[in-house]
Amino acid sequence: MTVTDAPPAAAAVGGTVLEASGVTMRFGGLLAVNNVNLTVREGEIVGLIGPNGAGKTTFFNCLTGLYKPTSGQVRFAGVPRKAPKPPKRKRVKKAPSAAAVDAVTVAVQVPSLPKLSPLPPKPRAVVRAGMARTFQNIRLFANMTALENVMVGRYSRTSAGAITSVLRGPKFRREEAATRARAQELLDFVGLGKSTEHLARNMPYGDQRRLEIARALATDPKLILLDEPTAGMNPQETKQAMDLIFKIRDLGLSVVVIEHDMRFIFTLCDRVLCLVRGETLVEGTPGEVQSDPRVIEAYIGSGEDDDEDDDGPQDVVEEAKP
């Protein structure tokens, strides 16, 4: 992988990748997400903040097809659901992800972005379409090795069926080797290249988070959703995570990230959306959001259900100011 250390701010923003309009999710009497709009463009890092229970994770679940929103629509411009011609599919498979980088940097190629279309109905189809995620409470395959975890992520981009697997022809072996190589490459990319054979459950917390990101990247996404990727990390690990997210963005991916760590969000994101009690409170650039008095107020106001170990409300916002 050719990853150049591009300056964080210089993001090449392209066409619209994701467009959620009026997303509403109701659990019985509880309105967890209420009429939220979100647009994510190519190569953009969008932050999602809000006090505990604001509905951030629920909104993510709506975006990835895990929940079917009560109302509203999510449209996504990923990989076309069905490749029109077989040769094209082959090319997609063989082309290394470096091609994705070019797609971003070469402005002419931006129109090649497919049209927005409604989200496919199943989470699996959403992954195929090019959206991947991590979980707030890490959900790795605990008894598999790091490498195997990432290899599972390749599932939707490989095709060996039962008969191929039993016969073990050259095609099977080639695909298996490619899967392994790609998984190793991704582990190197997130900085776990030395932990290939380690069991996921034995890995330190920070490594598990990074492994989850590698697994999500293995699905060749256009858009990656990270649910609190630095929760429980120490400052140094948080810094590494930030660099990693920039690196991912520089591959040409769009990123949506939920975080409680305000400094992290305001340094990282091009745009920030603040949810409170399921509704959009503010949306704008980090500068706009952190200076908005309503955000500070929201964090103070929802004090009763704030976790103790969360960063305190207003001083964090204050601190994050340049």
Ligand X SMILES: Nc1ncnc2c1ncn2[C@@H]1O[C@H](COP(=O)(O)OP(=O)(O)OP(=O)(O)O)[C@@H](O)[C@H]1O
The residues binding other proteins (CB under 8 A) are: 64, 66, 122-124, 127-128, 132-133, 135, 139-145, 148, 151-158, 160-162, 165-166, 168, 172, 175-176, 179, 196-199, 201-202, 215-216, 219
Segment near Mg ion (CB under 5 A); pick from 16-24, 111-119, 128-136, 198-206: 128-136
When asked if residue 57 is in the footprint of Mg ion (CB under 5 A), the reply is yes
Task: Note the Cα 318 to chain centre separation in Å.
Answer: 27
What value, to the nearest 5°, has the Cα angle with vertex 37 and ends 117 and 126?
35
Which of residues 56 and 133 has its CB atom nearest to ligand X in the complex? 56
Q: Considering all CA atoms of the chain, what is the largest pairwise distance in Å, rounded to the nearest integer?
A: 65
When asked if residue 136 is in the footprint of Mg ion (CB under 5 A), the reply is yes
- Tokens 């591009």, residue? 6
Instruction: Give least dist CB 236 to other proteins, A.
Output: 25
Instruction: Give least dist CB 66 to other proteins, A.
Output: 7
Instruction: Give least dist CB 140 to Mg ion, A.
Output: 18
- Tokens 């040409």, residue? 252
Tokens standing for residue 193: 């290249």
CB under 5 to 8 A by kind: which of Mg ion, ligand X, other proteins, none does 100 bind? none
Which of residues 43 and 65 has its CB atom nearest to ligand X in the complex? 65
Which of residues 219 and 290 has its CB atom nearest to other proteins in the complex? 219
Instruction: Give least dist CB 135 to ligand X, A.
Output: 11
Which of residues 14 and 278 has its CB atom nearest to ligand X in the complex? 278
Task: Note the Cα 221 to chain centre separation in Å.
Answer: 8
Dist. CA 47–CA 123, nearest whole Å: 22
Which of residues 66 and 152 has its CB atom nearest to ligand X in the complex? 66
* H helix or E strand, kind and range, residue 313: helix 313-320
CB under 5 to 8 A by kind: which of Mg ion, ligand X, other proteins, none does 198 bind? other proteins
CB under 5 to 8 A by kind: which of other proteins, Mg ion, ligand X, none does 55 bind? ligand X
Which of residues 26 and 89 has its CB atom nearest to ligand X in the complex? 26
Query: Alpha carbon of 120 to those of 115, 128, 175: distances in Å?
Result: 14, 9, 26
Dist. CA 104–CA 252, nearest whole Å: 5
What helix, strand, coil percent values describe the chain, rounded to 5? 45, 20, 35
Instruction: Give least dist CB 55 to ligand X, A.
Output: 4
Please give the residue whose beta carbon sits closest to Mg ion in the complex. 57
Which of residues 49 and 150 has its CB atom nearest to ligand X in the complex? 49
Instruction: Give least dist CB 276 to ligand X, A.
Output: 10
Which of residues 151 and 262 has its CB atom nearest to other proteins in the complex? 151
When asked if residue 302 is in the footprint of Mg ion (CB under 5 A), the reply is no
- Cα dihedral 125, 162, 182, 251, rounded to 10, equals -10
CA-closest candidate to residue 119, choices 80, 83, 73? 73
Instruction: Give least dist CB 126 to other proteins, A.
Output: 9
CB 311 within 8 A of CB 262: yes
Instruction: Give least dist CB 154 to ligand X, A.
Output: 28
CB 107 within 8 A of CB 48: no
Per residue, the 3-state secondary structure of 62-76, as one string, reads: HHCCCCCCCEEEEEE
> Could you give the count of Cα atoms lying within 13 Å of 190 in the half-sphere of its Cβ?
28
Residues near Mg ion (CB under 5 A) are 57, 136
